[in-house]
Each structure stands twice: as structure tokens, then as C-alpha cells.
Amino acid sequence: MSAPRSWALALSLVACAVHAQDRVYRCGASYSQEPCAGGSAVAVDDTRSAAQVAQAQRVAQLDARLADALRRERLQAEQAALQQGPAVIGRTTRHTLDAPRAQRPMPRRAKAEPVTLYRGAGAR
């Protein structure tokens, strides 16, 4: 991760900690920073130690680096696929694709499976 990204991440984590609320209220199915009628207070204390927070940050940075690497690999694979040309399904060779349509061999078709239609009771 580059230095500017590291600083941005650190600043955002500090900003989140500064703006963290001591009290959060559950109001039905939603949460609010202000008390509501019938709402209940929810404890939002971070009980993790400094070592646990540091480990979580390291894991998040590692995940971000791995995601960037996977993104680069995906972009390279997409570029290679674009340069590869169209996909051909079946036993067609390159020279038959270049030949005019009238000179191309006709593909062999499989025989159709017999279809049995529903017959009502007593029908023959």
C-alpha cells in the first residue's frame, strides 16, 4: 500500500474514533444517535485491546493488497482474452473459418430424440 493510502486510512480511522458515539439507541428496526419513544440504549464500547486493533488493521491492509493484486491479474487476463480472438466451439479448424461460407463443410447434426406426448387414460 502506498504512503498516501496509508495516511488516508490512518486519518479515516482516527476520524471514526473521534466521531464515535457513546450512546446509540435502537428504535424499532433502526438505530439512532438520539433517543426515541420506546427506544432502548445499546452499548457500543470497543472492547478490543490495542494489539487486537493493530492486528485488525494489518489484516485489512493485507486484504487491500491482495484485492489489488487480484484486480491486476483479472485485467491482464481480460487483455489476453481480447487479443486471443473469437472462441470456436466444435471441430472447426482455422482454415474453414477463413473459407467462404459456401465452401465450409456442413456440421453433422445429431439425430433428434423421439418425443412421447402425453396420452390420456384409455387413449391408444
- Annotated domain spans of the chain: 1-47, 52-102
Average pLDDT over residues 53-58: 94
The string of DSSP codes covering 30-98 is EEESS--TT-EEEE------HHHHHHHHHHHHHHHHHHHHHHHHHHHHHHHHHHH-----SS--HHHHH
> What digits encode the pLDDT tens for the residues 86-116?
776 766 555 555 556 556 566 677 777 776 6
Say if residues 26 and 42 touch (Cβ distance below 8 Å). Answer: yes
Q: What pLDDT, on the 0 to 100 scale, is given for residue 94?
A: 58
> What digits encode the pLDDT tens for the residues 3-20?
666 666 665 655 555 455
Taking the complete model, does pTM exceed 0.75, yes or no? no
Whether 65 has a pLDDT exceeding 60, the answer reads: yes
Residue 45 pLDDT class (50, 70, 90 cuts): confident
Q: Which of 53, 49, 31 is nearest to 40 (CA)?
A: 31
Whether 62 has a pLDDT exceeding 70, the answer reads: yes
